């Protein structure tokens, strides 16, 4: 509300809720990383996560880990 010389004007602020549904294990295990990116950018595009829509949960543009080939083992580290 803004007050001035006998008149009153009311300002309304429209806010939009943008939901995200995150299921990537590395992001779920480190919510502080998600919070930091959102605070800086006001979105999660840099993490490869798009907002949820009325049609479904958030879409991930992140690379998915490839399934291991049967009979193939990872090299020792």
Here the tokens at position 50 are: 């798009």
55's CB contacts (< 8 A; 6+ apart) are: none
Q: What is the pLDDT along the chain (77 residues), one digit of tens a residue?
A: 344 445 566 778 888 788 888 888 999 999 999 999 999 998 888 888 888 887 776 777 776 555 544 554 545 44
Residue ranges per structural domain of the chain: 16-62
Predicted pLDDT of residue 48:
87
Measure the CA–CA gap between 39 and 69, rounded to whole angstroms.
39
- If you write DSSP's letter for every residue of 44-57 in order, what string do you get? -GGGTBPPPBTTBS
Stated pTM of the model? 0.52
Measure the CA–CA gap between 42 and 35, rounded to whole angstroms.
10
């Amino acid at each position: 509300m803004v007050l001035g010389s006998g008149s009153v004007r009311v300002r309304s602020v429209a806010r939009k809720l943008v939901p995200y549904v995150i299921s990537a294990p590395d992001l779920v295990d480190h919510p502080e990383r998600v919070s930091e990116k959102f605070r800086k950018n006001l979105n999660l595009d840099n993490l490869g996560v798009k907002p949820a829509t009325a049609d479904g949960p958030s879409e991930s543009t992140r690379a998915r880990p490839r399934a291991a080939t049967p009979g193939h083992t990872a090299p020792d580290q």
